[in-house]
Amino acid sequence: MNLKEQIIHESLKLFSLKGYLSTSISDILEAANTSKGGFYNHFASKEDLFFHVLDEARRVWREKNLADLAEVESPVGKTKKLLENYRDRYLKDTENFPGGCIFVTFSVELDDQRPHLSKEVNTGFTGLKGMINRLLNEGQELGELRDDVSTSAITEMLFAGMVGASVIYGVDKSTHSLDRSINALIDYLENLKPQNSSTSGVLA
């Protein structure tokens, strides 16, 4: 790992723990074991670093949350796999996100004080909801979900549940609470299947 990568990695952890606004350049220099010269040789400013960290956070998010989704044929099964990955691979990733989901941290702290940065973060939330909604629509068309349920309403509930689980886990670090929260979302999704559905064993 070169110095630029080291600074990004350490900043990712610091931003997860303390937030962007509460993390100083001095904190970053100490964590990355470098000098101001080393920092500014790679980044024009702390805000410049923010965008590099955001890109790295998105890369890790995709790596963790989308793992093995291509191996699941069922759209609803893919949604369940996404929730499982979010629970087991992403939120429990203390190496990269010791303070919890960095996107939630950014969204909360930057909304009022750095709205242009918050807007960048929120595009990811929009993309996640769009992905979930597409999978649920495909699942409904294939008969994996009842015709009388609203996929847009389910999407909003799943998204809110994921964010809520992230916030709670960031505070209490209880894996039991996290498992219970995400499992409730998976059970909710399972209960929306037609009673004669034969897709419930896709993830088995």
Both structure tokens of 51: 């965008």
Confidence at 202, pLDDT banded by 50, 70, 90: very low
In a domain, 4, yes or no: no
* Average pLDDT of every residue of the chain: 93
The whole domain housing 103 covers 54-190
Asked whether residue 76 is assigned to any structural domain, the reply reads: yes
pLDDT at 203 over 80: no
Q: What is the pLDDT of residues 94-111, one digit of tens each?
A: 999 998 899 999 998 998
CA distance 73 to 28: 43
Residue 71 has phi, psi (to 5 degrees) of -85, -10
Cα–Cα distance for residue pair 28/6, rounded to 1 Å: 10
Per the domain annotation, does 93 fall within a domain? yes
Q: Classify the C-alpha dihedral 171-156-118-81 as positive or negative.
A: positive
Let me know if residue 20 belongs to a domain: no
Report whether pLDDT(62) > 90.
Answer: yes
> Is 34 domain-assigned?
no
Confidence of residue 197 (pLDDT cuts 50, 70, 90): low
Q: Mind listing the pLDDT tens digit for each residue in 110-163?
A: 988 999 999 999 999 999 999 999 999 999 999 999 999 999 999 999 999 999
Residue 8 lies in a domain: no
Can you give the pLDDT at residue 196?
66
| pTM, entire model | 0.90
13 vs 35: CA distance, rounded Å: 19
Residue 201 has pLDDT above 50, yes or no: no
Domain containing 72 — which CATH number? 1.10.357.10
The number of folded domains in the chain is: 1
In a domain, 92, yes or no: yes
